[in-house]
Amino acid sequence: MADSAQAQKLVYLVTGGCGFLGEHVVRMLLQREPRLGELRVFDRHLGPWLEELKTGPVRVTAIQGDVTQAHEVAAAVAGAHVVIHTAGLVDVFGRASPETIHEVNVQGTRNVIEACVQTGTRFLVYTSSMEVVGPNTKGHPFYRGNEDTPYEAVHRHPYPCSKALAEWLVLEANGRKVRGGLPLVTCALRPTGIYGEGHQIMRDFYRQGLRLGGWLFRAIPASVEHGRVYVGNVAWMHVLAARELEQRAALMGGQVYFCYDGSPYKSYEDFNMEFLGPCGLRLVGARPLLPYWLLVFLAALNALLQWLLRPLVLYAPLLNPYTLAVANTTFTVSTDKAQRHFGYEPMFSWEDSRTRTILWVQAATGSAQ
């Protein structure tokens, strides 16, 4: 009896487990995965908070490693039952070179897949992105779309290009025979813009607002909807997908799922104000203060300055032609595919998600009021 209970304990590996999303996945697994026997947290930069987790009932193994190094990945994957591959280089600001983004996001994913095949790991959940679909370079709206909504996905920027290719690799690997002869089962989750505790861009906006005396200035029309999803729900979706992959392999294998919850459809800036407003900031203007052509000009100027200054200094402001296009194009999802395929229901209501995020912004900036 004790033996069979022991046999059910599983080894999970989370790549990128010290990132914004990764930390939530790690904590969620520890709270909500009863079959967890060992949790391996693989990241280039390990967080000090991991230490506190090592005193709990589940064995937590911190592995400092680089997904671009195939041998490091293979060593971490060996003996794992499930891999949640969330490590990635999230850069739409031109901080890293296109080659580095490709190396981490594409070659890193290839290394994870090959490690599963070589070592006999059968279940792989990949954190993809809405960016795999769009917004496209033509600015076509994707309005409350689902996984089957036709959309002309055209990528030029290195980040969405890399995520699209990596997702394709993961889905294509579904069914490959792993060591021991059984098939690999994979699926990809596509979050829209994630928010919640640990969201650095939210904190940057808050700090910028404070510097401007408590004011932020509207740049994007309120009518442009941008999809957002709470990090706790994204983490929960990963945990559930990983858990159900074995039982529902035929249904879930090779599938993609948008990440969704009850977060309201709003513009990027109006959505941020749901948190920054209660922290004392105000968004000025019912309409954008600057004409769109001027924003396009400023974004292009930033891109030019980035290029000119690159030999001397890294100039990577939030506004560039790509981020402007993403923020200024409607992209929202409306789907229940994850609910139908693996029983996903958001764990956190919109009210909970909002409260948790507000408390984090206040605490993180030392501005609790």
Q: Which of 15, 68, 121, 129 is the binder for ligand LDGCRDGN (CB under 6 A)? A: 129
Q: In what order do the strands lie in the sheet with 123-127?
A: 59-64, 36-43, 10-15, 82-85, 123-127, 185-190, 255-258
324 binds ligand LDGCRDGN (CB under 6 A): yes
Reported as type and span, the H/E element at residue 337 is helix 337-342
Three-state DSSP state, 267: coil
What gap in Å lies between CA 74 and CA 63, rounded to an integer? 12
Cβ closest to ligand LDGCRDGN, residue 273 vs residue 326: 326
20 interface partner picked from ligand NAI, ligand LDGCRDGN, none, CB below 5 to 8 A per type: ligand NAI
32-51 positions binding ligand LDGCRDGN, by CB under 6 A:
none
Strand 193-195 vs strand 185-190: parallel, antiparallel, or unpaired?
A: unpaired
Applying CB under 6 A, the site for ligand LDGCRDGN has a residue count of 16
Rounded least distance, CB 137 to ligand LDGCRDGN, Å:
14
Structure tokens that stand for 70 in this block: 């195939």
Rounded least distance, CB 86 to ligand NAI, Å:
5
Burial readout 274-294 (b: 16 or more C-beta within 10 A, e: otherwise): bbbebbebebeeeebeeeeee
Which one-letter amino acid corresponds to residue 351?
A: E
Which residues contribute to the site for ligand NAI (CB under 6 A)?
16, 18-22, 43-45, 66-68, 86-90, 104, 108, 127, 129, 163, 191, 193-194
Give the binding range for ligand LDGCRDGN (CB under 6 A) out of 144-152, 171-179, 248-256, 323-331. 323-331
Rounded least distance, CB 41 to ligand NAI, Å:
10
Cβ closest to ligand NAI, residue 130 vs residue 249: 130
Active site residues: 159
What gap in Å lies between CA 272 and CA 205, rounded to an integer? 9
131 binds ligand LDGCRDGN (CB under 6 A): yes
Cβ closest to ligand LDGCRDGN, residue 171 vs residue 178: 171
Give the binding range for ligand LDGCRDGN (CB under 6 A) out of 3-11, 100-108, 317-325, 354-362. 317-325
What residues are paired with 258 via a beta bridge? 190
Closest of 264, 280, 104 to residue 193, by C-alpha: 264
Cβ closest to ligand NAI, residue 86 vs residue 302: 86
Report CA-CA distances (Å) from 291 to 209, 212, 220, 298: 21, 20, 10, 11
Residue ranges in contact with ligand LDGCRDGN by CB under 6 A? 90, 92, 129-131, 193, 201, 219, 226, 268, 318-319, 323-324, 326-327
